[in-house]
Amino acid sequence: MYTPYRKDRTTATGRTRPRRAVKGFLFLCILSAILLPAQGESGAGDILFHDDFVDLDQWKPLTFPKIEAHSTYTIEAEGDTSFLRTESRASASALVHRDTFDVTQYRKVRWRWRIEHVYEGGNAEEKSGDDYPIRIYVMFRYDPDVGSFGEKLTYGVAKAFYGAYPPHSTLNYIWSNRSQHKRIMQSPYTDRSQMIILQSGNERAGQWITETVDILQDYREAFGKEPPAEASIAVMNDSDNTGEGSVSSVDFIEVYR
């Protein structure tokens, strides 16, 4: 039986208005253009892939038109352990993993993250507050062979304009500014992106928190149906709406059965 990976590390403390429309359908279109060449699974057994962030060889940068300030993603170390450091200062960009995977075979994702603080102006219910010091995207590939007539028209126009199909849908795991009345919320930009609140507020800021999610179960709950089989992962720290700044970290991330 698979035993989830765990590092030997004690809890540590953290270091103590461009256009918004790009976070909706445009975001998905650009994202797809980056993801499309990266197909296939790179692992075998229970763990498909595990990244300790020793380097960024398996990740691609994602930037957005009309947002000149980009978040930064660098490798840093604490003692003998490396991690991904993300920083946003009134900026937005992301990192996208190069590989896709079959969610029917590898439905679990696990990672450890930490934030410096949440954004005071953050609000998951409003476009103006759609910023998070850290979020993990799971993006599901659009399949034109099974799309409805309306989807084929919409996605066909997107492909003609951007050169690639946008993702079919996304799950967006977030560390939100505040607690909400429900765990799963629709993105203020599009119903094709559902946000899942795992942490909220500053109570646990500065602490490493381990998260484990079942993306197949979460997709069924969020969208009320089965997901497309193929998916990819991205990491993002953005503050272009609120104009604030924060640092966050990801210790590792893995996809497994």
Query: Which of 186, 178, 195, 53 has the alpha carbon at shortest distance from 117?
Result: 178
- Burial of 154: CB neighbours in 10 Å, binned 0-12, 13-18, 19+: middle
In this predicted structure, the answer to whether residue 244 has a pLDDT above a threshold of 80 is yes
The tokens describing 93, both together, are 């960009």
pLDDT (tens digit, 9 = 90+) per residue, 113-126?
999 999 999 999 99
- Domains of the chain with bracketed CATH: 21-256 (2.60.120.200)
Average pLDDT score over residue span 205-209? 97
- β partners of residue 200: 176
According to the model, what pLDDT value does residue 147 have? 67
Average pLDDT score over residue span 120-138? 95
According to the model, what pLDDT value does residue 184 have? 96
Average pLDDT score over residue span 144-153? 68
Q: How far apart are CA 26 and CA 30, in angstroms?
A: 6
> Tokens 């599009």 appear where?
190
In this predicted structure, the answer to whether residue 6 has a pLDDT above a threshold of 60 is no
The full 3-state SS of 38-106, as one line of letters, equals CCCCCCCCCEEEEECCCCCCCEEEECCCCCCCCCEEEEEEECCEEEEEEEEECCCCEEEECCCEECCCC
Alpha carbon of residue 140 to chain centroid:
12
The tokens describing 78, both together, are 């604490």
* Higher local confidence (pLDDT), 10 or 167: 167
